[in-house]
């Protein structure tokens, strides 16, 4: 029997590589990545499965050869996991124009091909589309901020891709991800959990931006993978949007800093600085962010609690 085929954009990034590592037994997998924010190499993936293929390609700058290759590949692709994107508050703050323009270009060139072949697409959207809100539900009105703050361009691009998937009538599932984290996530671009844990272990200090009352809700990557296993194999949530997060792991940033200190039993200094001492005026801190996951709970209940996430990430730095 012919094996099913999966393409994963951003396949050498944190989430994309986790998908490749967890689905290679059921799919022939090809990962696409431009190596701008990769956390693994193709050799790392081939150590797990030598049959995972790789295409070095920037979806925002596809040549005619790239377009021809992708058009051919999509003819018999079962699932396209679209996880390529600018990552992290720091990355977007450093190059907001590039992040906005590139994401727009990806949608312009990629989505017509997905529509042509009617390729089932799993799209990694973001909780950013909700703006400053808690208990966010998939069908609620969104509150994206002013274009004077370029950070919101990232949320607008994610939302525009959601609209385009529906406009092109591409079979899809949209995942709005809430702080999905794990040991494979890089602290390089300001990702909250790995940065705080790395700094705690390596420097004995955690830095909090603002007053620490910002809320986040952290989800272990294994819970994302378990959710995907169901969504890929079952045909019950076609053309829908689903929040992926863990509502039991909601915490303020100050509480998280103290939880890291207590869980890892470290003698830590917890420092507070103004958000814009670290980030430019193109960025703005999100004060509230947590999901309602009633739809997710129809088929999966997140398993990994906050202390277990901290211990799992800490193993990387100890």
Phi, psi of 52, deg, nearest 5: -70, 130
* Predicted pLDDT at 69: 98
* Predicted pLDDT at 203: 94
151 in a domain, yes or no? yes
Q: Whole-number mean pLDDT of the chain?
A: 91
Residues 11 and 51 in one domain: yes
Residue 50, C-beta contacts closer than 8 angstroms, at least 6 positions apart = none
Residues 23 and 170 in one domain: yes
Residue 79, C-beta contacts closer than 8 angstroms, at least 6 positions apart = 4, 5, 6, 7, 27, 119, 120, 121, 122, 232
pTM of the model: 0.94
Cross-strand partners of 122: 81, 173
Looking at the 3D structure of the chain, how many domains does it have? 2
Lowest mean pLDDT of 57-61, 85-89, 228-232, name the range.
85-89
User: Per-residue pLDDT for 247 more than 90?
Assistant: yes
CATH of the domain at 122: 3.40.50.720
Per-residue pLDDT of 109-139, as tens digits, reads 999 999 999 999 999 999 999 998 999 999 9
297 in a domain, yes or no? no
30 in a domain, yes or no? yes
47 in a domain, yes or no? yes
CATH of the domain at 252: 3.90.25.10
63: Cα separation from own chain's centroid: 26
Residue 240's alpha-carbon distances to 95, 122, 294, 303, in angstroms, are 31, 10, 14, 23
User: Per-residue pLDDT for 301 more than 70?
Assistant: yes
Domain that holds residue 127: 4-180+219-245
Report, as an integer, the average pLDDT of 142-156: 84
Residues 254 and 193 in one domain: yes
Residues 278 and 159 in one domain: no
pLDDT classification of 99: cutoffs 50, 70, 90: confident
User: Per-residue pLDDT for 182 more than 80?
Assistant: yes
73 in a domain, yes or no? yes
298 in a domain, yes or no? no
User: Per-residue pLDDT for 280 more than 70?
Assistant: no
Q: From CA 302, how far away is CA 267, in angstroms rounded?
A: 31
281 in a domain, yes or no? yes
Residues 58 and 162 in one domain: yes
Q: Do residues 197 and 260 make contact, with C-beta atoms less than 8 angstroms apart? A: yes
Residues 8 and 150 in one domain: yes
Residues 308 and 276 in one domain: yes
296 in a domain, yes or no? no
Residues 76 and 209 in one domain: no
Q: From CA 178, how far away is CA 13, in angstroms rounded?
A: 17
Per-residue pLDDT of 43-56, as tens digits, reads 999 999 999 999 99
Residues 101 and 231 in one domain: yes
Return the DSSP state at 295: T
Residues 79 and 173 in one domain: yes
Residues 112 and 205 in one domain: no
Residues 131 and 279 in one domain: no
């Amino acid at each position: 029997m012919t094996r099913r085929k999966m393409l994963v954009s951003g396949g050498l990034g944190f989430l994309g590589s986790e998908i490749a590592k967890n689905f290679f037994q059921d799919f022939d997998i090809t990962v696409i990545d431009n190596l701008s924010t990769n956390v693994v190499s193709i050799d790392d993936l081939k150590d797990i499965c030598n049959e995972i293929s790789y295409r070095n390609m920037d979806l925002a700058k596809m040549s005619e050869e790239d377009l021809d290759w992708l058009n051919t590949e999509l003819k018999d692709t079962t699932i396209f996991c679209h996880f390529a994107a600018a990552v992290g508050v720091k990355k977007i703050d450093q190059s907001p124009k590039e992040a906005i323009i590139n994401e727009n270009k990806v949608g312009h060139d990629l989505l017509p091909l997905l529509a042509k072949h009617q390729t089932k697409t799993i799209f990694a959207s973001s909780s950013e589309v909700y703006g400053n809100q808690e208990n966010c539900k998939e069908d609620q009105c969104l509150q994206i901020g002013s274009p004077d703050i370029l950070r919101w361009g990232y949320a607008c691009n994610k939302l525009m891709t959601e609209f385009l998937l529906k406009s092109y009538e591409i079979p899809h599932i949209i995942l709005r991800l809430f702080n999905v984290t794990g040991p494979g996530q890089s602290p390089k671009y300001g990702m909250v959990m790995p940065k705080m844990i790395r700094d705690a272990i390596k420097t004995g200090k955690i830095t909090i931006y603002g007053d620490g009352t910002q809320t986040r809700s952290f989800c272990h990557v294994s819970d994302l993978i378990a959710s995907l296993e169901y969504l890929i194999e079952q045909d019950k949530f076609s053309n829908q949007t689903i929040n992926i997060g863990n509502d039991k792991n909601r915490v303020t940033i100050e509480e998280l800093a103290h939880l890291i200190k207590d869980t890892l039993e470290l003698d830590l200094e917890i420092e507070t600085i103004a958000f814009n001492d670290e980030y430019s005026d193109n960025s703005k801190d999100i004060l509230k962010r947590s999901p309602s996951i009633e739809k997710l709970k129809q088929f999966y209940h997140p398993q990994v609690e906050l202390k277990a996430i901290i211990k799992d990430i800490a193993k990387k730095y100890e």
